[in-house]
Structures are given as structure tokens and as C-alpha cells.
Structure 1
Amino acid sequence: MHKTIWFKIHMILGLTAGFVLLVVGVTGAILSFEKEITKFINKDSYEVFVPNEAKLSTKELLEKLQEKLPEAKINSLSFSSDVNSSVIINVAGKGEGKEAKRGKSYYINPYTAEILPEIKGKAFFSLILDLHRRLMLGEVGKQVVAISTISLIILSLSGLYIYWGRVRRAFFRSLTFSFNHHGRAFLSTMHSSIGMWVLPFYLLASLTGLYWSYEWYNATLYKIAGVEKPQRNMPLQMQKGSTEPNFDDYQKAVELFNVLIQKEYSDANIRFPQKGSVYSFSYLDVDSAHYRARNTLELDINSNQIVKHERYEDKPLNEQLMKSILPLHTGEYFGIIGQIGMFLASFFMLLFTVTGVMLYLKRHKKRKKREIKE
């Protein structure tokens, strides 16, 4: 009785939310390797030729960019200990809205101050992300995706419940299917067995995906984890007490950071302007767990001392997890294996939609034949 009810729920959700999940899954698969693809097709922007001369100082880089863009307000500077890496300088955007707050990033050759080519593919991946999160339908699409995400949790658990008999009788066999089967038997075993493999990925993606869907869910996660929810910072150029840019101080801060950090880093970021003599850096170790495993360092350019140093690896697990919601969602928290696994699971959403519809049609056709005979 219960199995029949759950089967009907599974079928109804699959035939409704399944098509939304198809879009979310395929776009998620495309986004899985966005960073790697972007860097691959934009090598001229991310990497530079190393000449037989030293890098320009921070002050020189900022001054040369300011000469080229006299009206620009510099928001931040990103740099790396890697001699082949370009420097990224973000300037404030014009007007209002998200794009203005996000600003525009210029990729700069740290040896010549040349502005490198703009990043290709940004518009494409922005479109895919909008499809993934909102179906390109704004707030309405966001809610549709959220409901479909909840449906995926129900689909995953109901599918396990329906298939549980075979899992209990022969666990390892339940993870396989045979091409010797034909028709509905083949579709059913393939649908179920692959579902067993991707079940953990779907539950992880769903439970983390809702983080961006509902504020109450977001707040509840922080409460359960016992972690204080971070407050969004207002744009730095709007902060009270901010001073005019002082490139000499910026250079001193960056030089002191490199002296105090005493290790290689793949990326370091400092935002401008900052108040007083204390400067705050966010940086990522070369061997970091993932791209959100950032550390923070505050230093005083007057005393040449570290004021505060917080490393991701020193934080308790609950704080690490709350800082890693996106890497958990994409599978990157578990390294390249997790990333590939989430990519495949996302892509297989196409398989589940197609096989689910085919199973429904075959079942419907069989029922019609039985009704005609009767």
C-alpha cells in the first residue's frame, strides 16, 4: 500500500518537476568546470610571459591604471606569488545595481602594466547560471527551481524506498544493470541502479542548493551549525570614514603582506579604501582544500605587525562547512573525484527524465491494452 502511494508520488513529481530538474541538471553539469574552462580559453588574460626584469610595484601598477582610467575608483587588487600570473584590479562600476556594485575587473600584466584581453565566456556562463538558478524568469523562476529542488529530495528518497526490496536482497547487484534486458525491464533496472549511484550527489546538491533559495533555510543552517551568519559588507567606496586612496600605503601593505605570509599563495586580495593603518587581506594557499578555503590576514603598516590571522584549516569543522556550501554543492569540497561525480550526476538528470517518461508511456500503453481486452 505504502509502496504504491510512494510510486505514484515519484511518478507525478518526475513528470512535473522532472523537466525543471532536467534544465537545472544539464546547466549544473556545464557549470561544474566553469573555472577550468574559463582559464583554459583565457590564457592570455590569466598568464603572462616572465621577462628578465622585476615586477612593477603595486604603486606603479595602480598609478599606470589610474592614468589610463582617470575617473576609475579602484575597489580591490588581486595578485599571486606565481610569477606567471596576471594581476586583477577591480574598479567601481557606474550607476547602481548588481553590476555596478560588482564593478569591472581588469587583468593587468604585472611587468608592463598592460591591460590584458577581457575574459571570454563570462556572458555565456552568466546565462547558464541564470538558467540554473532562476530559469531566466527572475523571482518566479527562482521559486520554481526551489520547489523542484525539494521535489528532487522526495524523488531520491521515494526512489530508494521503491527500490529497497532489491537493495536489501542483493545490494551489489542493485548497483548494476544488464544490457541483456530489453524494453521496460532494461529501462527500469538502468533507471534504478544508476539512481543508487547518484543518490548521495542529488541529496547533497539539493540540501545545499536550498541555501540560496530560502532565507529561512539559510539562517537555519547557520543556527544548526552554531555559526554566526556573516553580514554582507556595503560597497567599500560607500563606507563612512573611508579615506582617499593612498598608493604609497597600498604598496607598503602588499610588501608587508609578502614578508609576513612566508608561503606561496595562488591568490591574495585586498580591498580599497581601508581606514587607518590596518589592512585586511584574503588569500588562498597554493595547496588549499578548495577555492573557498580562504584565509584572512590583518596587518598594521605602522607597526609592521600582524594584527589578526585566521586560517581556514584552523577553524572547527562546523565553520569550515558553512564556508564551503558552494564547494559542497559542486562536489569540489571532495576534490576532483567529487567534482567529476557531481558533473556526471548532474548530466544524468537528462537520463532520468528520458527513461522516466519512457517508463510512464510504456506503463500507460500496457494499461490501455489491458483495458481494451477487458
Structure 2
Amino acid sequence: MKKAIKYIHLVLSLPAGIVLTIICLTGAILVFDDEINQLINPSRYYVEKTTQAPLPLNQLIDIVNKQLPNNSVSEIQLHNDPERTAVATLKEGFRVSAFINPYSGEVLAISPYRETFFFKVMSLHRWLMDSSRTTGKWITGVSTIFMVILLITGLILWFPNKKKKIKSSITIKRKAGFNRKLYDIHKVLGAYASIVLLTLSLTGLMWSFDWYKNAVGRIFSIEMSEGKHGGGNTKGSRNEQKKNDVKAGSHSVIQWDAMLETIKQKVPKYSYIRLGEDKATVLPVDALHERATDIYSFDAETNEIKSVKYYKDENQRKMNGWVYVLHTGSWGGWITKIITFIAAIIGSSLPITGYWMFIRRIRKKHK
């Protein structure tokens, strides 16, 4: 039985190993993308501490729009932290962000997401930088399925069948030779990281295959809506945006302030509020995680709340939110992020140590 499992483990690891190393290594980098961005560009995310009150939102947006001759603010995100900058999403371009000093209205930086380092890392992680997002996405998806099987077969091969072998199964022999030490690193570290890597693999498949996503939805009795992952602005969405712009033409800057005050009355304790033309996305302070946001829709004529989509009441959003935070390791703060980062680094090393052992075996047989 173990011979067959070992054969499956070997056969699947050879074609998928390089891809899995890339996926795990890029995934490890993406775990701390926000933190790295804030460390490299602190002026984009923080302003000097001041006792001054932020500018009224209508005035702030007006000042910002004057600094953007070929663009304008579509959405704006405001943090409850007085030292954080405001972040505006601009109408023209795909996920173009403007970082704004909320006390002066100065645009500190403009960042198109597709030109950032982390977009390149993400595109390598998800579709191997394939511009069509088809073949590369399929390769990473199939490799991730292989990863699930490799982790399960690896755990079966690792599991000690005798009490005497327990100690050797959970420790790395420091005094052993290089090859033995490499074998222990592959076996022991792989076992330690296996549960986290399985979680990352099973959640990662949600972005690879619609059939898998729908199957997971059926398991949890959730009807999944149709949609493509990772799509940009389509022609249809641009036309829809233009219609919304015309419809919201009377949505004056005064209404931005009114929307903000309405939300603050509803949710006095929040981490951030993101305001759009006729909706507000709010992350309460006591939210379970960073994706547990509530969405308030406003009537464009009366500027009153016409409907609320609470995160706790929407099963599909709850599932997608938990999938995201489990995949990124952000569900438990710094501790789970560090654990996820270490597991991903170990995951990237497993194919390398596996290839080394395979090449060594081939050489040994040849001799």
C-alpha cells in the first residue's frame, strides 16, 4: 500500500514541483503586502499627528478633483485612525488609488494597482503572469490539486507506525549527514506545515475553478452567483458606470457629507468607511475579520438609507470572506499571518528538497 502511495507522491510531485514552489513563494510575499507597502511608503498611509479637524468631505473631494485634471474621485475610504490618510478610488483606470491628506486635501501619491510590485507578484501567484488568465490559471489550479494529494500522501508516508519511530518522525537529526538531514527537513517540516498548507490549497482552489467553488457552495447549502475571478473593467461595466454617473449627476458634494454623518450615526465605532456614489461599505470595530463589512445603499434623490446588507446575513459573502482570510492568514491578526508565512516558505522548499532526493536516487541507481 505504501509503495503505491509513494509512487503517486513521486509521479505528481515531478511535474508540479516548480509551479508549487512559485505559488508558495509568491504567496508568502503576499501575506504581508499591506504591511510591506506601509513600511516602504509610510507617507502614503500616514500623516503627522495634529489637533486639526479633517476637512469637510465635500470640500476635501473638491480640492482633490482640482488636482486631477483628467480624473475624479469615484469612492473614498476614511479610517477612524486620525493619523491615517484618506484613500480615493478614481473613476478612470483599473483600481487607481489616490492617497490624500485629509487635513489639507493634498494628493500625496497616485498608484495604479496594475503597475505595482504586488500586482506582478499576485499575477505570478494566480496565473503565472499569463495575460490571458486562462492557461496559467489552469496550470496553477491543477498544480494546487496535486498539492492537496501530495500533502495527504506525504502525511500517510510520514505517519509513524511504531512507537519507536515517533521521535524520528518529529525531529531533525542534527548530527546526521547532509542527505539524511535534507530528508528529515522534507519529511518533518512538511508534516508540521501540512494542515496550514492544506487550508491554503483548498481555499486557493476557489479562485481557480468555478466547478470547485460551486461544489463548496453546495456543501454549505449556498447558492453561488455567477461571476469571473480577477476580471478587470469590461465594456459593459464601463457603460453601466457611465449610466450611474449620469443618474448620479445631481449627487452633489454636500451629499457626501450627509452620507458620512448618516453612517457615523448608525455605526459610531468603525475601522473604516468607504463611500461611493450611492452606497457605503463599513467595517465595524468588532468585525470578525477584515472582510466582514456591511453595505448601506442610499437613495440618490433623498440621500436616505434604502437598504442594508449585513455581512452576518449574507451566506455567500460570509463564505467568500472566510475563504479569503483563511487563504491570506489574516483571520487571527499577526500570529496567523506569521504562521501562514512560515508554512508557505516551507511549502516552497518541499519541491526543492524532493527534487534533490530524487536526483540523488537516480545517480545512486546509475552508479
TM over 0.5: yes
| Residue of structure 2 equivalent to 1:237 | 241
Q: Is the 8 A contact 1:107 1:117 kept in 2?
A: yes
Structure 1 residues 139-178: aligned runs within 5 Å: 139-166=134-161, 170-171=165-166, 173-178=168-173
Q: Deviations over 1:157-176 (max 9, x none)?
A: 11112223447765565222
| Residue of structure 2 equivalent to 1:113 | 105
Quote the Cα distance in structure 1 between the aligned partners of 2:119 and 2:48. Answer: 29
Q: Is the 8 A contact 1:266 1:285 kept in 2?
A: yes
| Residue of structure 1 equivalent to 2:319 | 321
The 1:299/1:137 distance shift into structure 2, 3 A limit, reads closer
The 1:319/1:136 distance shift into structure 2, 3 A limit, reads closer
Bigger drift between 177-186 and 18-27 goes to 177-186
| Residue of structure 2 equivalent to 1:251 | 257
Q: Is the 8 A contact 1:284 1:294 kept in 2?
A: yes
Quote the Cα distance in structure 1 between the aligned partners of 2:135 and 2:164. Answer: 44
Distance apart, 1:290 and its partner CA: 2.6
| Residue of structure 2 equivalent to 1:212 | 207
Bigger drift between 9-18 and 120-129 goes to 120-129
Q: Is the 8 A contact 1:227 1:319 kept in 2?
A: no
| Residue of structure 2 equivalent to 1:131 | 124
Task: Tell me whether 1:49 sits opposite 2:48 in the alignment.
Answer: yes
Quote the Cα distance in structure 2 between the aligned partners of 1:50 and 1:339. Answer: 28
Question: Which stretches of structure 1, 4 residues or longer, exceed 6 Å deviation after superposition?
Answer: 300-305
Quote the Cα distance in structure 2 between the aligned partners of 1:42 and 1:190. Answer: 37
Q: Is the 8 A contact 2:95 2:112 kept in 1?
A: no
Q: Is the 8 A contact 1:86 1:110 kept in 2?
A: yes
Distance apart, 1:356 and its partner CA: 0.8
Q: Is the 8 A contact 2:25 2:345 kept in 1?
A: yes
Quote the Cα distance in structure 1 between the aligned partners of 2:49 and 2:329. Answer: 34
Secondary structure in 2 matching 1:204: helix
Q: TM-score, normalised by structure 2?
A: 0.86
Structure 1 residues 217-228: aligned runs within 5 Å: 217-228=212-223
Q: Deviations over 1:347-371 (max 9, x none)?
A: 11332122112211222223223xx
Structure 1 vs Structure 2: percent identity of aligned residues?
A: 27
Distance apart, 1:302 and its partner CA: 8.6
Distance apart, 1:306 and its partner CA: 5.7
The 1:270/1:229 distance shift into structure 2, 3 A limit, reads farther
Query: Where in structure 2 are there 5+ consecutive unaligned residues?
Result: 228-235
| Residue of structure 1 equivalent to 2:230 | none
Quote the Cα distance in structure 2 between the aligned partners of 1:118 and 1:208. Answer: 32
Quote the Cα distance in structure 2 between the aligned partners of 1:142 and 1:8. Answer: 27
The 1:13/1:106 distance shift into structure 2, 3 A limit, reads same
Match 2:275 to one of 270, 277, 298: 270
Q: TM-score, normalised by structure 1?
A: 0.84
Q: Is the 8 A contact 2:297 2:307 kept in 1?
A: yes
Q: Which amino acid aligns with 1:237?
A: Q
Q: Which amino acid aligns with 2:328?
A: T
Quote the Cα distance in structure 2 between the aligned partners of 1:285 and 1:168. Answer: 50
Q: Which amino acid aligns with 2:61?
A: L
Quote the Cα distance in structure 1 between the aligned partners of 2:252 and 2:112. Answer: 32
Secondary structure in 2 matching 1:334: coil
Quote the Cα distance in structure 1 between the aligned partners of 2:101 and 2:302. Answer: 31
